[in-house]
Amino acid sequence: MILFVLITALLEILVVLYAMSLGLKDTGLLQWSFLFPGASSPTTLTISPLFHLVPICVTVTLASGWVYLSKRLATKRQEIRKGKIEPSMRQRVEKKGIVSRIRLAGKNFSKRMKTRFSGVSRFAQRKRLGRPTVRSAIFVLLIFGAFILMFSLFTYPNLIYQSVSNLYRANAGLPNFITSTNSWARGAAEALGPIGWLAGSINSGLLSAAPGFRDFAVGIGGVISPLASLDDAGKYLAFQNIATLISVLLILLYGERVGKGYRYKK
């Protein structure tokens, strides 16, 4: 629990630094002054709603979702182990062959090792108990990070263009490298007839699909234009809250799917 909270807090620090690099500034700081007994000057406590309160709320929300998903995964494993629920038909089909016999022999050997050496048994038990927590933590952090990146690009549509432009300015030899690579690819396509025909067909397909892609891009632009018109604080709150909300919804759906993935014995 503590380790997940620390990792999530570190991820939120990176998100805050990322937002600050995009121009975010908190102008609504909350300040309180306290004069402790025996002190000559008052102590000022400053809290930033954007940089302190929002990351704390996001961390608590993701930690709650992680606890829920970990319990769901752990409960499923315990019920399977106790025989309260049975696997699906695909998992209960007995496979035959050399591979299945080798796998069965390995399982029997591991069981004998666990009975002989209690330390190995305790290590294997801890490993089994740690799998649901690790899986749920990876799931929560990956989907949250992916949605943060995606919605930050929605709120800052020019971010990719600016990044590529800065990359071109910082590396003077990059345009020459791309030009030489393009020339080499054209020469190789002309030298090899079938590959050149395949490249030409792919190019024609892309050109024919360009109008549909343009209409799709226009539709996406109509959806994200309200987000792009917000100020920096609004954009920061938008991609933090939307990413957290969608992550929690996916956690709940995945938890329900895990609970219904096996059927109860009658």
Residue 174 has pLDDT above 70, yes or no: no
pTM for this structure?
0.65
pLDDT at res. 129: 46
Average pLDDT value for the chain: 75
What crossing angle do the helices spanning 232-260 and 54-82 adopt, rounded to 10°? Answer: 10
pLDDT at 254 exceeding the cut of 80: yes
Question: Averaging pLDDT over each range in 2-11, 26-35, 93-102, which range is the top one?
Answer: 2-11
Of the candidates 74, 255, 59, 246, the one whose C-alpha atom is nearest the C-alpha of residue 154 is: 246
Q: What is the tens place of the pLDDT at every residue in 109-160?
A: 666 655 665 554 454 455 454 577 888 899 999 999 999 998 888 888 777 7
* pLDDT reported for residue 169: 73
pLDDT score for 185: 64
Q: Would you list the domain boundaries of the chain?
A: 2-264
DSSP string, 206-249: HHHHHHHHHHHHHHHHHHHHHHHTS-HHHHHHHHHHHHHHHHHH
Tell me which of 9-18, 178-187, 239-248 is least confident. Answer: 178-187
Model confidence at 89, pLDDT cuts 50, 70, 90, reads very low
Distance of CA 76 to the CA centre of its chain: 24
Answer yes or no: is pLDDT of 50 > 80.
yes
Size (the chain), residues: 266
